[in-house]
Amino acid sequence: MVRIENLIKRYGDFTLDISMEIPKGKVTGLVGRNGAGKTTTIKVLLGLIKIDSGKVSVMGKDAAALTAEDRKRIGAALAESGFSGLLRVRDVAEILSAMYDDTDRESFLRLCGRFGLPEDKQIKEFSTGMKAKLRVLTALSHRSDLLIMDEPTAGLDVEARNEILDMLRDYLRENEDCSILISSHISSDLENLCDDIYLINSGRVILHEETDRLLDSYGVMRVDEETYETLDRQHILAVRKENFGYSCFADDRRYYEESCPGIVIQKGSIDDLILIMAGGELL
Amino acid sequence: MKGLMVKDLRLLFSQKKTWLMYIMLCLMMSFSMQGAFIVGYTVMLAGVIGISTISYDQADNGMPFLLTLPTDRKGYVREKYLLCLLMEACGAAVGIILCEVTSLVKNGSGVPADDIRSAVVVIPVMLILVSFMAPINLKYGAEKARLVMMIAYGIIGAITASAVVLMQDIMPDLGHSALVKIKVFFDETLGGTYFWTVPVVLTVLSLAVMYVSYRISVRIVSNKEY
């Protein structure tokens, strides 16, 4: 569905240099710290910025050459961009039904009502959570082949985040062939949703793994300096210096459970992945 | 493009207080001013309102999202120019109706066709102004565009004033006599048979300028990163 090959995009000192793929019907997570290059990658996919070199193909076409018809098959929710704050939900319903052939005005309004978005209030008067919900509902208002979500839950409380994730799960149940790219720096958003995860740091992909394997096989060891010096490092991907010694992120938890029974090793999480791989030293 | 047009119209008509103010202003003007002055005013107002939708799109970083909707960059620009043309046409229609109605109320008779013709000349002037404002707004954003337009007006004003002073110094009689000749040509030669020739020719010329402006705007938006 989406293929990025050797993409290079330079912004002053920052260079995005990645390759990645989003298969049909899969949910792909894009994680990384703020400023890692997640939004830049998404903007490239949506044809909003130009690339310096490489190839970016979306639904079989160059991302920069997507037509209005192609865009009808894409649903996008951007982190800090949406409809004008002067509009109301009922205006948005009219606009969407004029834009997409399969958007039903009434069901969009019903869905907005279910998620507590009043029809007659200007968007500028909405809370951060309400604006985020509207952005996601807008992206889900029509049947898409590709959904692109940039930090859909950023800045929201747990309840609003869960509501947004529920919306996405409902959509996925009804549209099994839809491919989704979702960027986030909140691990719990992605652990139960994504089939695979790309971790990017300073503009580069530093890990790509299936979520199930990441959660089942990867692990984190917290060891003191003395233990660290004698530790077998063949499955350690990254280490991070801590007050007590080192946190080590390993790609084979069972190997260390069997070979180093005295060491406490916990299951890996996406938070650990970001903290240690993006914030530590790669081996 | 239909969706973008719906968005702009809904955006414009969502501001009820502003429209109430416009209506009050237009009514005051049409009753207080002579002839068909109001036509020029409504046409100018409509053009500015049409262009203002660009700044609404750019406010709160709205452009990236709009360009993810089912449109391409050329379609976005085309919609803006069509909206401005639509607004100008509505502005002219409202202006003519207003001045006819107020003239009937005040004088018991309609506005002379000559007055209407003079006022309608504002339409091509406004189309040309829109043709300058649109690409500048699309390239620099509404805030910077205001500054650019002010500088442009200043430069045009300074050049015109300098040219007039220079002409008066070099050939004191030419400027006046040339204007008189043009007026005589339009009034006597074209006056009866080709009464509407000047406004029509100017409108066609301004549409040509607008087309060039549209092509420039398409290039600006196509090359811009959002």
Question: Best mutation site among A95, A97, A128 for testing chain B: the one with the most B CBs within 10 Å?
Answer: A95
Q: Which of A50, A76, A94 sits opposite B10 (nearest CB)?
A: A94
Closest alpha carbon within chain B to A141: B69
Total number of domains constituting chain B: 1
- Chain B contact for A11 (CB, 8 A cutoff): no
Cβ of B16 under 8 Å from any chain A Cβ?
A: no
What is the rounded CA–CA span in Å between residue B132 and residue A208?
50
User: For A223, which DSSP code?
Assistant: E
d(C-alpha A184, C-alpha B223), whole Å:
29
Of A80, A87, A96, the CB nearest to B61: A80
Q: Average model confidence (pLDDT) for chain B? A: 84
Instruction: Quote the pLDDT of residue B43.
Output: 87
**Would you state the structure tokens that stand for residue A254, as one six-digit string?**
């069972």
Q: Is B175 exposed, middle or buried (0-12, 13-18, 19+ CB in 10 A)?
A: middle
Q: Read off the pLDDT of residues A178-214 as tens digits, 9 standing for 90 and up.
A: 999 999 877 777 888 899 999 898 899 988 999 988 8
Residue A70 exposure: Cα atoms within 13 Å on the Cβ side? 18
Which residues from chain B sit within 8 angstroms of residue A66, using beta carbons?
72
Place of tokens 């996406």: A270
Residues linked to residue A7 through DSSP beta bridges, in sequence order: A18
Give the angle B45-B49-B51 at the CA atoms, nearest 5°: 120
Q: Which residue has the higher pLDDT, B27 or A70?
A: A70
pLDDT at B166: 77
Which domain covers residue B209, as residue numbers?
Answer: 2-223
pLDDT, tens digit (0-9, with 9 covering 90-100), for A239-263: 888 888 888 888 888 888 888 877 8
CB contact B72 to A (< 8 Å): yes
Half-sphere exposure of B205 (CA within 13 A, CB side): 11
Residue A101 CA: distances (Å) to CA of A28, A71, A110, A174: 27, 12, 18, 18
Q: What is the pLDDT of residue B174?
A: 60
Coil vs helix vs strand at A271: helix
Question: What angle do the packed helices B37-58 and B2-13 form, to 10 degrees?
Answer: 110
The interface predicted TM-score of the complex, written ipTM, equals 0.86
- Token pair of A75, please? 């649903």
Q: Cβ–Cβ of B6/A98 closer than 8 Å?
A: yes
Tokens of A207: 């890990």
pLDDT value of position A205: 93
DSSP string, A66-87: --HHHHTTEEEEBTTB-S-TT-
The residues spanned by each domain of chain A are 2-209, 218-282
The pLDDT score that the predictor gives to residue B37 is 79
Alpha-carbon gap: A198 to the closest alpha carbon of chain B (Å):
23
Edge-to-edge strand list for the sheet holding A204-210: A61-62, A53-58, A2-11, A14-22, A204-210, A196-201, A27-31, A179-184, A146-150, A74-77
Pick the CATH number of A2-209 from 3.40.50.300, 2.60.40.10, 1.10.3720.10, 3.30.1380.10: 3.40.50.300
Side-chain-facing half-sphere of B27: CA atoms under 13 Å: 7
Q: Which of A219, A196, A205, A223 is nearest to A269 (CA)?
A: A219
How far is B79 from chain A, CA to nearest CA, in Å?
A: 13
Q: Which of A218, A195, A233, A234 is nearest to A267 (CA)?
A: A218
From B5, B57, B225, residue closest to A48, measured CB to CB = B225
- pLDDT tens across A167-176, in order? 888 888 888 8
Q: How far is A71 from chain B (nearest CA, A)?
A: 5
**Nearest Cβ partner of B60 from A49, A85, A148?**
A85
pLDDT of residue B185: 66
Q: How far is B19 from chain A (nearest CA, A)?
A: 14
Inspect the interface and report whether the beta carbons of A46 and B61 lie closer than 8 Å: no
Of B11, B15, B68, the CB nearest to A71: B68
CB contact under 8 A, A48 and B67: yes
Look at A84 and B69 and tell me if their CB atoms are within 8 Å.
no
Which stretches of chain A drop beneath a pLDDT of 50?
none
pLDDT value for A123: 94
Q: Given a cut of 80, is residue B17 above it in pLDDT? A: yes
Q: Which of B56, B69, B226 to mutate to test the interface with A (most CBs of A within 10 A)?
A: B69
* Interchain CB distance below 8 Å, B11 and A94: no
Cβ–Cβ of A68/B56 closer than 8 Å? no
Q: How far is B16 from chain A (nearest CA, A)?
A: 11
Q: How far is A215 from chain B, CA to nearest CA, in Å?
A: 34
pLDDT in tens, B158-211: 887 887 777 777 766 665 666 666 666 666 655 555 667 777 888 889 999 999
